[in-house]
Chains A and B, each alone.
Chain A
Amino acid sequence: MNPTKTSFSCGQAIHAMTRRRMLGSLGGLAGFGSLLHPSIAKQIEERKKQVCLIWLDGGISQYESWHPLPDSKFAGPFRSIKTSIPGVHFSELMSHSAKIAHKISVIRTMSTKDPNHSTGVPRMQRGDPLDRGVDYPYLGSSVAKLLGPADPELPPYVWIKPGNGGFIHREAGFLDARYGALALGDGRPPVHIHRPDGVTAELDAARNALRQKANERFKTYRNLSDVDAYETSYDMARQLMARKEIFDDEKLDPKDRERYGQHPLGRHVLQARQLLEAGVRFVKVNSYHWDTHGDNFNMSQRLVPQADQPFAALINDLDDRGMLDHTLVVMMSEFGRTPLINSRLGRDHWPDCWSIALAGCGIKRGAIIGETTKDGGFVNGRGYDVGDLFHTIYNVLGIDSHRVRYRHKGQKLAIASDDCEPIEEVML
């Protein structure tokens, strides 16, 4: 049931290549070992598709972003502006996205159940599957598992976030810890990616040659996947060190920095572009403190443009580079904000009817999905749960979300909520 460790019969170089491919980028056991149908596994091994998830933690207000409704009795004070889609308006705080609306899609009737952050955030990022007594992986870990790395030399799931970095196993849930996220604190690469002071590249190569010599001797009469996995992790580590410029934001064009914005989210989304260009499969970018229960309008005025500017810049850049067709971009929070304005001139949580934006791989261009009541706040017609969103995401990535299953401790587990369906209206 648990894949047993296999032994290999020789340590010749030609087998090293095969071994590495089989082991996947971070070493260890064969990547598809715990999927149900190997034939399906082959189908879904798509090397090119990539994902960027921009997570605005706390709940961006849909009234102050994607769905302004200035005549609504719940409207805030800001204008709505025309977008590049005739008849469609965004908030004036989304001036950049308004210009490229024809490249993206917006779903205005996300309708979910959880009004809390602590449970809502993991729920949304896990796709809110049915409770099977296991911790489901977050989207990035799922994609890392289901598609593997896009470039075998790079980690499949990188997370750019304020604060601390590290390796975040937790997001892998019941999947193996290696599908967790390599987190770059404030976009900075792991501090250990740098060679120590006084160690030149030549010295590093020389001492690594000694290390490899020692390992060759050790492996002479031993052939174990654990040792191979260990070596592969060094190969990966050295590849990351050699490619560390992909994490180095010093190398970014100042004009790009201007376009994305010098604020943290701007810098981080630009770094995400850099990683996507380098070939990372899944990049998540987090921004925190969007939970504007107080002073929502002054805060939205300052916050929303911080998401709008880099989001639009990213879409444009991916499009210019011919990457938009195979890169899925999603920008969302765990819920929206209340139509009602509270006593602190804030808006509270509103999972009942909120908006997300998607673009890229398999997503329609310029589709605005979902009807609400005239004043906003309530779905008028079809609402979509996060499970529907996950079905959508997997399908546009080429993964049959209803057939593919995880296998865990004898249980077959759906990759997206069984009760939900892909959102056809937003898919090509």
Chain B
Amino acid sequence: MSAPPLDVTQSWASRELEHGRQLFRAQFSPDGQWIAAGGQDKLVHLWELEKEGKKSLQGHKTWVSSLVFHPKEKKLFTADYLGVIHCWDYEKGDKPTWTIKEADRDNVRALVVTADGKYLISAGDDAVIKVWKASDGKQVAKLEDHEECIFCLAISPDGKHLVSGDLLGRIRQWTIGDWKQVRELDAKLLHTRKENFLADVGGVRSFTFSVDGKLLAVGGMKEAKSNAFCPGKPTVLVFDWATGEVKNELGIKGKSDGPFNALQFLEDGTLVGHTEVLHSVSELAFWKVDQAEPIHSIKNGSGYDLSLHPDKRQLLVPTYVTGGSSGNGGRGKTPENYLPNTTVLRIFSLYPKPEKSKEG
């Protein structure tokens, strides 16, 4: 059956998978049969979508910070805040096939796999990008030019370039294979440090290339007001890949005050992004990138990742769900009824909801 035509303005939440703890990363497998997600409970959770099965893989000893599927093989790479990277045979195994320990000494924030499947690339708090052989985890290269925590990585659609973005709003472009730095892009707008701040706030938090490789959208937030609540204006900078200049700056109309945690270009050039907000409802936003404001928004709880199904018509968002004890103080709660906040993996279908079948 051919895919229904893309119409983001008619998007609807078509499926929900609940989970009793907070998850911050969720991705579809390349064949669309699985979802892998990880977060606060240290486990790697896998849902087999057709069979409605779920399993959880133990191995990490702290929060799962990032995950990525191998583009060709049935492998899943996951990393955590200790810098440990596991490679899983997610269909069959329940133990990692191999592990990189102390990859960074520090948190790993981002993982990508090159398009040809040869290399796994990680980056995180120690500001060093590490390249590993995807087959066995042996280190191949170290790319050092960032000075601060690297939050995200992306591979260009032609498979030739890697981009990395950090806390200070600096983006570096590297060639894949010889691992040389070729260019810098300036996204410093997404970084704030006012005189009375105790720390840098914001940074480059998400990347997505347009399908034709001509644009790079960079997500974060600008004009952070403090390093306490860290509220800012969710912002996307759309770079012209050829010139390296910012073509457009996108925002939202709603109240969200956190960064764009995830961005995704669709095949028709629409850009999708998700942000977060304190104690309120956030949004999934859609833009035509020549206009600063979204052409469409869907109210959704705070979301931390985006993953596009291989059918290009479904979008997965791990979404925050409050347990009802939010806000300051215990206010009469007891250890028994003070429960963690949870997640719903919400899948949005990017086309009109089919009418009910005429049967019955």
A58 is an interface residue with CB less than 8 A from chain B:
yes
Question: Interface-forming stretch among A228-236, A288-296, A395-403?
Answer: A288-296
Can you list, as one digit per residue, whether each of B315-333 has a CB less than 8 Å from chain A (1) or not (0)?
0000010110111111000
Question: In the assembled complex, which residues on chain A have CB atoms less than 8 Å from the CB atom of B276?
Answer: 343-345
**Chain A residues engaging chain B, CB cutoff 8 angstroms:** 58, 70, 73-79, 115-116, 162-163, 263-265, 287-295, 298-299, 301-303, 306, 338-346, 348-352, 373, 375, 377-378
User: Which of chain B's residues has its CB closest to A373's CB?
Assistant: B335
Task: Identify which of B81, B279, B335 contacts A343 (C-beta below 8 A).
Answer: B279
User: Which of chain A's residues has its CB closest to B282's CB?
Assistant: A343
CA distance A418 to B198 in the complex (A): 38
Can you list, as one digit per residue, whether each of B270-286 has a CB less than 8 Å from chain A (1) or not (0)?
00000011111010000
Question: In the assembled complex, which residues on chain A have CB atoms less than 8 Å from the CB atom of B198?
Answer: 263-265, 287-290, 299, 302-303, 306
Task: Identify which of B62, B196, B229, B322 contacts A77 (C-beta below 8 A).
Answer: B62
Task: Identify which of A74, A78, A265, A378 contacts B340 (C-beta below 8 A).
Answer: A74
Known: A116-B328, A163-B196, A294-B258. 7 other contacts (CB 8 A): A79-B62, A291-B228, A293-B228, A294-B231, A299-B230, A341-B341, A349-B329
CA distance A338 to B327 in the complex (A): 8
A352 near B335 with CB under 8 A, answer no
Name the residue among A264, A299, A350 with the largest chain B CB count within 10 angstroms. A299
B322 near A343 with CB under 8 A, answer yes
Can you list, as one digit per residue, whether each of B232-245 has a CB less than 8 Å from chain A (1) or not (0)?
00000000000000
B338 is an interface residue with CB less than 8 A from chain A:
yes
CA distance A351 to B330 in the complex (A): 8
A294 near B229 with CB under 8 A, answer yes
B334 is an interface residue with CB less than 8 A from chain A:
yes
Question: In the assembled complex, which residues on chain B have CB atoms less than 8 Å from the CB atom of A295?
Answer: 201, 230, 258
Give the tally of cross-chain contacts (CB within 8 A): 134
B228 near A58 with CB under 8 A, answer yes
User: Which of chain B's residues has its CB closest to A351's CB?
Assistant: B329
Question: In the assembled complex, which residues on chain A have CB atoms less than 8 Å from the CB atom of B328?
Answer: 115-116, 338, 348-350
User: Which of chain B's residues has its CB closest to A294's CB?
Assistant: B230
CB distance from B319 to the nearest CB of A (A): 9
On chain B, the number of residues with a Cβ less than 8 Å from chain A's Cβ atoms is 50
Can you list, as one digit per residue, whether each of B58-94 has a CB less than 8 Å from chain A (1) or not (0)?
0000110100000000000000111000000000000
B330 near A350 with CB under 8 A, answer yes
CA distance A377 to B339 in the complex (A): 11
B227 is an interface residue with CB less than 8 A from chain A:
yes
Closest 7 pairs between A and B when the two form their complex, measured CB to CB = A294-B230, A115-B329, A349-B328, A77-B63, A77-B81, A302-B199, A343-B302
B294 is an interface residue with CB less than 8 A from chain A:
no
B98 is an interface residue with CB less than 8 A from chain A:
no
13 contacts between A and B (CB under 8 A): A73-B21, A290-B198, A299-B228, A302-B199, A303-B198, A340-B325, A343-B280, A344-B230, A344-B257, A344-B276, A345-B24, A350-B329, A378-B335
A346 near B340 with CB under 8 A, answer no
Question: In the assembled complex, which residues on chain A have CB atoms less than 8 Å from the CB atom of B24?
Answer: 345
User: Which of chain A's residues has its CB closest to B226's CB?
Assistant: A289
B297 is an interface residue with CB less than 8 A from chain A:
no
User: Which of chain B's residues has its CB closest to A265's CB?
Assistant: B198
B277 near A377 with CB under 8 A, answer no
Using A78-B81, A293-B228 as known contacts, say yes or no to A342 and B329 having CB atoms under 8 A apart. Answer: no
Question: In the assembled complex, which residues on chain B have CB atoms less than 8 Å from the CB atom of A265?
Answer: 198
CA distance A234 to B22 in the complex (A): 62
A352 near B329 with CB under 8 A, answer yes
B282 near A339 with CB under 8 A, answer no
CA distance A339 to B334 in the complex (A): 12
B325 near A290 with CB under 8 A, answer no
CB distance from A378 to the nearest CB of B (A): 5
Question: In the assembled complex, which residues on chain B have CB atoms less than 8 Å from the CB atom of A350?
Answer: 328-330
Question: In the assembled complex, which residues on chain B have CB atoms less than 8 Å from the CB atom of A349?
Answer: 328-329
B264 is an interface residue with CB less than 8 A from chain A:
no
Using A58-B228, A77-B65, A78-B81 as known contacts, say yes or no to A342 and B278 having CB atoms under 8 A apart. Answer: yes
Using A77-B63, A342-B341, A343-B322 as known contacts, say yes or no to A289 and B329 having CB atoms under 8 A apart. Answer: no
Task: Identify which of A292, A338, A377 contacts B228 (C-beta below 8 A).
Answer: A292
CA distance A345 to B229 in the complex (A): 10
Question: In the assembled complex, which residues on chain A have CB atoms less than 8 Å from the CB atom of B62?
Answer: 70, 77-79
User: Which of chain B's residues has its CB closest to A353's CB?
Assistant: B330
B107 is an interface residue with CB less than 8 A from chain A:
yes
